[in-house]
Structure 1
Amino acid sequence: MNEIENIFLKRKESEKQENLSIVADHREKNSLLISELIKNNVRVELKHLEIADFLVNNVAVERKTVSDFLNSMINKRLFSQLENLKQYEKCFLIIEGIEEQELYNDYAGGINGNAIRGFLLSIILDFQIPVIFTKDYQDSAKFLTILIKKQNSKTEISLNPKRKSKSLNEQKQFVIEGFPGIGPKSAKKLLEKFSSIKNITNASEEELKEILGKKAESFRKILD
């Protein structure tokens, strides 16, 4: 009996010692979700994140309350956020508070329920970003805590959507990703088109537009 009790005691002690950590955008500082994560023995590191609200070993998480989500539909802000989120190979969107506010009947905003359903389908099918619905901030914290545990044995957290550089091409990609607004996909396409960092820096704005679109102008200004 003592041996069995000892086994369970050791297991509990190892669980307490488990290193659970997450990087959160500093704007989440006063949220109830952060408090709940800390209550769950998660070490929260606040950083300025240009992309996503949370990072767990290079898994990017964007979190929206139902009202945030509906508002971002109206002002179109979510489209650019989702596009940026895709710079990470693994990412998902949390829509929080489905038990606290009706998602498909936004009387205040006057959004048709089917328009909301269509927008959700666009996120999943067009942006190819999974969507997780949570009851409240406590439910969101549980999802994030489980995610941390699943990712705990994997790569270190990076504040930029970059892969660990190994080959020469990956090292070049790492350098290009260091520029503001340039993620892995854009960096890879630039290298495929121009072959070298030197050719990229010498490329005209029009040439860069083929890959970067509207971002080409600001990228060219940085290079100049």
Structure 2
Amino acid sequence: MTKPKFFNIFSRKKSLVKKTKKNKKKIIVDYREKNCLIPSELEKKGFEIEFKNLKVADYIVKGVAIERKTISDFISSTINKRLLNQLEELQQYENRLLVIEGIDEQELYSDKNPEKIGMHPNAIRGLILSILLNYNVPIVFTKNYLDTVKFIHILSKKKKREKPLNVNKKTLNQEERVQFILEGFPGIGPKTARKLLTKFKTLQNIFSASEQELKDAIGKKGETMKKIIDFKYK
């Protein structure tokens, strides 16, 4: 008598599950981001989320390190100097981004009411320029968390190859950091930067100074510097 053959009706289903999981794109997320809505939205888009205790960045998308800041966090981390440390740590990655989230929900700076923000608008403008020019970190401004999700989604499609860590990293002290920011302006070298700091003492005082005050301190370079400080980011 021929024995009946039994087929595992679940075998194909299991293989499909494995295949689906294998095809999912993985995003590494810092565990401190668990409380925000972005990871769950990324999961809805088919991403596999792996939470880790990241020492650098909030999201790693195919080798691109992303530091995410809401506007409030951007301001507060600037005031307490945490942002400068994070920007230095991002230098470990060849590909890095700073996401400033919430421009539809909150003002980044205000010329009419600077007290509302907590920082002088020119100080924020100067910081943005420094991030771009000195730290070489591209900035993405997003409307809200859903817009951030869309940027990450598009990034995952565009970036094809992971980049290795750059281990050649120098940690700057506080004076070097401040000087580093000023040296991002055209014509401002170490000597001129130190001259400005000796006269004005703080970055905020420098960014708040009038064109004439800057010219008195460093000559014609002050005129160029003032134009950049007052440049309105679109």
Given the two structures, how large is their TM-score scaled by the length of structure 2?
A: 0.59
2:86 pairs with 1:78: no
Residue 88 of structure 1: how far off its partner (Å): 0.6
Q: Retained in 2: the 8 A contact 1:33–1:141? A: yes
Match of 1:87 in 2: 92
Residue 37 of structure 1: how far off its partner (Å): 1.1
Q: Are the structure 2 counterparts of residues 212 and 85 from structure 1 closer, same or farther at C-alpha, using a change threshold of 3 Å?
A: closer
Aligned Cα RMSD in Å?
2.5
Residue 87 of structure 1: how far off its partner (Å): 0.9
CA distance in 1, matches of 2:63, 2:21: 24
Match of 2:137 in 1: 129
CA distance in 1, matches of 2:87, 2:145: 21
After the TM superposition, which residues 1-224 of structure 1 pair with which residues of structure 2 at under 5 Å, given as runs? 18-105=23-110, 107-151=115-159, 153-155=160-162, 162=165, 184-186=167-169
Q: Residue 46 of structure 1 aligns to a residue in which SS? A: strand
Q: Retained in 2: the 8 A contact 1:20–1:149? A: no
**What are the ranges of 5 or more consecutive residues in structure 2 without an aligned counterpart?**
1-19, 174-234
Given the two structures, how large is their TM-score scaled by the length of structure 1?
A: 0.62
Q: Residue 36 of structure 1 aligns to a residue in which SS? A: helix
CA distance in 2, matches of 1:131, 1:65: 13
1:61-115 CA distances to partner (integer Å, 9 max, x unpaired)?
A: 0000000001111111100000000111110100000000011125344311111
Q: Are the structure 2 counterparts of residues 68 and 154 from structure 1 closer, same or farther at C-alpha, using a change threshold of 3 Å?
A: same
Amino acid at match of 2:39: I
Residue 57 of structure 1: how far off its partner (Å): 1.8
Q: Are the structure 2 counterparts of residues 213 and 128 from structure 1 closer, same or farther at C-alpha, using a change threshold of 3 Å?
A: closer
**Which has the higher mean CA deviation after the structures are superposed, 104-113 or 72-81?**
104-113
Q: Residue 184 of structure 1 aligns to a residue in which SS? A: coil
**What are the ranges of 5 or more consecutive residues in structure 1 without an aligned counterpart?**
1-14, 163-182, 187-210, 215-224
* Number of residue pairs matched by the alignment: 152
Q: Residue 185 of structure 1 aligns to a residue in which SS? A: coil
Q: Residue 144 of structure 1 aligns to a residue in which SS? A: helix
Q: Retained in 1: the 8 A contact 2:58–2:67? A: yes
Residue 18 of structure 1: how far off its partner (Å): 4.8
Q: Residue 55 of structure 1 aligns to a residue in which SS? A: strand
Q: Retained in 1: the 8 A contact 2:27–2:60? A: yes
Q: Percent identity?
A: 48
